[in-house]
């Protein structure tokens, strides 16, 4: 199944139109979005973590290990926790660095040979996380977490994909602070979530200009005429729930490069297909935390990284981005932490 999952992902680069139905590009300032329409045979039935939280159907709690959280699905629905989702709470804000599809939950029964009442328990899943808040290691409101409205923008997401270490994520967040010229009073605990709140007025202008269309399940994004990334889901309702957060994350790239020259593109559909066709990747696959197989892919030139979760022979979430600028060399000597780093992380 692992090799089959890789072949499924490879085919999207070999023949994109077998998977991607592309609609009319939408443009605002230096950002162009191509809506992606779901195809009926690629649909998977699940709900998003955000919807599950609104209905109080999911629990996310801290463990004794910084790089792990525990999740419980209390619903009769499969729940997707997408790559790049950030959660706030616990002793630090975190990001989930691979897509996870949690099976139908509720209480499970333990069959025992001994007479007596049947014991029931809640199925827990341990999910991988990385820190996006360097300088806090204390509880605000207990061990629980809630998803935020902040997704990782492409440069931080590039480093968060599991081939990169925790330090690379911190470095890129610090680089983002410098690029955006945030005041020292902003995000005193180096919280990525608090930093991006400073840009919400501007990113909100972008988000309001892009409209979802019927059966949309994702987007391909160009900044200044250059392709920057793509994200789509096997469920249009989940896209609708997540779309504003995703557009906001990509619009951070538009703000980063707003003063750079813009390249003229004659046909965005043709340009996208041409780029996908010529990318060369190294692929790896492993079993997912819950359902499906996670496939990671890194381009041979080191400019692109992607991750997807293949379940039922289709991709529950597909994510691909290019890193532009940002932090290049890993030097963290100027970063101050509240606790000894080796006690909390394996780097």
Mean pLDDT over 271-279 rounds to: 96
H or E element at residue 171: helix 166-180
CB atoms within 10 A of CB 64: 5
Q: Indicate the helix (H) or strand (E) that contains 147.
A: strand 145-151
Q: How confident is the model at residue 163 (pLDDT cuts 50, 70, 90)?
A: low
Please determine, for residue 221, whether its predicted confidence score (pLDDT) is greater than 60: yes
Phi, psi for 130 (deg, rounded to 5)? -125, 150
In degrees rounded to 5, what are phi and psi of residue 107? -80, 140
Q: Give the chain's domain count.
A: 1
Confidence of residue 121 (pLDDT cuts 50, 70, 90): low
Residue 156 lies in a domain: yes
Which residues span the domain enclosing 151?
2-109+120-327
Residue 336 lies in a domain: no
Residue 11 inside a domain? The answer is: yes
pTM: 0.88
Q: Within a domain: residue 333? A: no
113 pLDDT band (50/70/90 cuts)?
Answer: low
- Does some domain include residue 345? no
Crossing angle for the helix pair 268-278 and 2-14, nearest 10 degrees? Answer: 140
DSSP assignment letter at 164: S
* pLDDT score, position 136: 66
Torsion 125-127-131-132 (CA) sign: negative
Residue 169 lies in a domain: yes
The pLDDT confidence band at residue 166, using thresholds 50, 70 and 90, is confident
* 202 within 8 A of 209, measured Cβ to Cβ: no
Look at 36 and 178; give whichever has higher pLDDT: 36
Band of pLDDT at residue 114, cut at 50, 70 and 90: low
* pLDDT higher than threshold 90 for residue 243: yes
Task: Give dist(CA 118, CA 194) in Å, integer.
Answer: 47
pLDDT at 90 over 80: no
Reading phi first (left if > 0) and then psi (alpha if -120 to 50, else beta), residue 153 is in: beta
Pairing state of beta strands 47-48 and 79-81? Answer: parallel
Residue 340 pLDDT class (50, 70, 90 cuts): very low
Tell me if 114 is assigned to some domain: no
Q: Return the ∠ at Cα 233 (arms to 227 and 236), rounded to 5°.
A: 115
Q: Is residue 340 part of a domain?
A: no
pLDDT band at 43 (very low <50, low <70, confident <90, very high): very high
């Amino acid at each position: 199944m692992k090799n089959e999952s890789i072949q499924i992902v490879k085919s999207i680069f070999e023949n994109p139109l077998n998977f991607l139905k592309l609609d009319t590009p939408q443009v605002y300032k230096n950002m162009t979005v191509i809506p992606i329409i779901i195809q009926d045979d690629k649909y998977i039935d699940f709900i998003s973590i955000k919807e599950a939280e609104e209905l109080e159907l999911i629990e996310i709690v801290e463990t004794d290990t910084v790089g792990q959280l525990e999740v419980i699905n209390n619903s009769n629905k499969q729940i997707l926790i997408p790559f790049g989702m950030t959660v706030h709470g616990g002793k630090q804000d975190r990001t989930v660095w691979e897509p996870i599809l949690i099976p139908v939950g509720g209480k499970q029964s333990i069959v025992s040979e001994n007479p007596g009442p049947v014991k029931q328990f809640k199925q827990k899943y341990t999910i991988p996380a990385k820190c996006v808040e360097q300088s806090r290691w204390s509880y605000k409101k207990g061990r629980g977490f809630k998803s935020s409205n902040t997704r990782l923008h492409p440069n931080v997401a590039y480093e968060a994909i599991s081939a990169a270490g925790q330090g690379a994520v911190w470095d890129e967040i610090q680089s983002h602070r410098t690029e955006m010229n945030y005041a020292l009073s902003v995000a005193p605990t180096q919280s990525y979530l608090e930093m991006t709140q400073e840009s919400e007025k501007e990113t909100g202008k972008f988000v309001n200009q892009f409209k979802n269309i019927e059966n949309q399940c994702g987007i391909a994004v160009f900044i200044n005429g250059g392709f920057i990334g793509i994200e789509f889901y096997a469920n249009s309702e989940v896209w609708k729930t997540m779309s504003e957060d995703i557009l906001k994350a990509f619009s951070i790239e538009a703000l980063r490069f707003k003063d750079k020259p813009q390249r003229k593109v004659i046909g965005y559909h043709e340009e996208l297909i041409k780029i996908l066709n010529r990318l060369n990747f190294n692929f790896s696959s492993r079993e997912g935390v819950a359902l499906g197989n996670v496939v990671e892919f890194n381009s041979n030139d080191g400019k692109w990284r992607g991750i997807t979760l293949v379940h039922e022979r289709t991709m529950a979430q597909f994510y691909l981005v290019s890193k532009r600028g940002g932090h290049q060399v890993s030097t963290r000597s100027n970063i101050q932490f509240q606790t000894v780093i080796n006690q909390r992380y394996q780097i």
